[in-house]
Structure 1
Amino acid sequence: MNEAGRLGDCLASLSFCDEVVVVDSFSTDDTVAIARAHGARVLQRAFEGYRSQKQFAVEQAAHDWVLCLDADERVDATLRAAIEAERAAGFADAAGYRFARLSNYFGRFLRHGNAYPDRVLRLFDRRRGGWRGNREVHESASVDGLVKTLRGDLLHFPYRSLEQQLLKTQRYARMMAEHDFRRGKRATLAKLVLAPAWRFWRGYLLRGGFLDGWHGLVYAYVRANYVRQKTVMLWLLQQGQPVADPPQDRP
């Protein structure tokens, strides 16, 4: 949805693929035109959730082996070479492949802390798996069979600004709190106090986030704030309180 600023680089990194399918949520910018200019087959579908949108894309592909990317991701040269080598070997013995995701955070790639290696399963045989389950946020693919790890990185450019990151993490926190509440998970006073602090110190100190300089410090603080928001929202849901404004009827 409205990814004209990032989609071109994503699709350029996929030039080695036999087919490219882009699922668009009725963008109002040049997203569709850019996708078609790169030779992609564009399908438009109303957004119902991150997981279901990705599974829809998988089901539309012409081939059984699929590589799934978001518009803010790119395949680096090392990962491309690894994927092409596996394809040449017929993806022998594997049902899927995972690889590291390397995120750029306001001008610096984060190589420590909770940010890296952040391995994700994105290349798989759709006959043996896909974007399964009912969780629409922090979704992940899974397969039945052997999963191998490839060299190289999936480059990730997730945030245009701090404001955009804060709005995004707040939306994710609400969605996760609502999902956890439906599953019967509950927050406690101890979690309200300790969970955000633990997320910060685990990433910043124990996993070396401080080695990424001020970028690592800000990232650790914002991620800890996400945990705080999610836990507070879950607590409020338990108390029968709303965590979002109700829909407004238009006059």
Structure 2
Amino acid sequence: MARLSVVIITLNEADNIRDCLESVRWADEIVVLDSGSTDGTVSICREYTGQVHVNANWQGFGAQKNRALTHATGEWVLSLDADERVTGNLRAEIQAALREPGRVSAFEIPRLSVFCGREIRHGDWWPDYVARLFRRTAARFSDDIVHERLLFDGHPGRLVNPLSHLAYHSLDQLLEKLNRYTSAGARAMYQKGRRGGIGRALTHGLWSFVRAYLFRRGFLDGREGIILAVAGAQSSYYRYLKLMYLEQTIGTRIDDR
């Protein structure tokens, strides 16, 4: 079987990281790149691996994951977030795939997310395929600040067993992350030349809700389904509003020169 490196980036993940690391102790190598944690994350990681590095010069998720990749030595890489866990069934499937990977450069893995204690099996959250298992020399992450993508040639293979994702434990956690991610998302959209505005915010927000709650049957997830459909709509809505004000702010600075 090909040698496997697990790569994880962290920032103040003391509550999550131990279970994540426990789930991949079987890997040939674990690489952690921390962004300047102050809560004991680094100490916990050093219990599991000597490959713990710190780089607090944050330039976005894509850039940080690419930095972490430079420390990996395995032929194949499994990229994880601190709130994700590899189940026993997924471990067996990964090991089987690495024995006979064929010609593919990457594999997509379905991600099963848990929101406030409930597994979400509909809406925008399932099956949520993510490309995380890949040949180290054949792929890299995009430089996006948030919602980075794995870039590789060809079509990926697909695994069946899901990656467990403990997304949010509380509404406070969801709202705090929504605010941070919409701000980062607006900056990323601005860099790509996208345009904001109230009309765009309303249109994209409404479509996000209809898609998740009706077309993708989020209503089958009960109250959590409607909570997440509304949260998704808010995310789209505020991204476009923040982009509108970002355009206005930068335009005012240019006019004042």
Normalising by structure 1, what TM-score? 0.91
1:203 alignment counterpart: 212
Q: Distance in 1 between matches of 2:120 and 2:163?
A: 13
1:246 alignment counterpart: none
CA RMSD of aligned residues (A): 1.6
1:140 pairs with 2:149 = yes
Given that 1:128 and 1:145 are in contact with CA atoms closer than 8 Å, whether structure 2 keeps it comes out as no
Q: After TM superposition, where is structure 1 displaced by more than 4 Å over at least 4 residues in a row?
A: none
Q: Distance in 2 between matches of 1:14 and 1:42?
A: 15
Question: Compared with structure 1, are the counterparts of its residues 146 and 202 closer, same or farther at alpha carbon in structure 2 (3 Å cutoff)?
Answer: closer
The structural deviation recorded for 1:163 is 1.5
**Structural mapping, 1:1-251, within 5 Å:** 1-46=11-56, 47-89=58-100, 91-132=101-142, 134-240=143-249
Given that 1:67 and 1:122 are in contact with CA atoms closer than 8 Å, whether structure 2 keeps it comes out as yes
How high is the sequence identity, in percent, across the aligned residues? 39
The structural deviation recorded for 1:189 is 4.1
The residue identity in structure 1 corresponding to 2:109 is: F
Q: Deviations over 1:48-94 (max 9, x none)?
A: 211111111111101131100010011122221110001122x2211
1:245 alignment counterpart: none
Q: Secondary structure of 1:202's partner?
A: helix
Structure 1: unaligned runs, 5 residues or longer: 243-251
Q: Distance in 1 between matches of 2:149 and 2:54?
A: 22
Given that 2:198 and 2:240 are in contact with CA atoms closer than 8 Å, whether structure 1 keeps it comes out as no
The number of residues matched between the two structures is: 240
Structure 2: unaligned runs, 5 residues or longer: 1-10, 252-257
Normalising by structure 2, what TM-score? 0.88
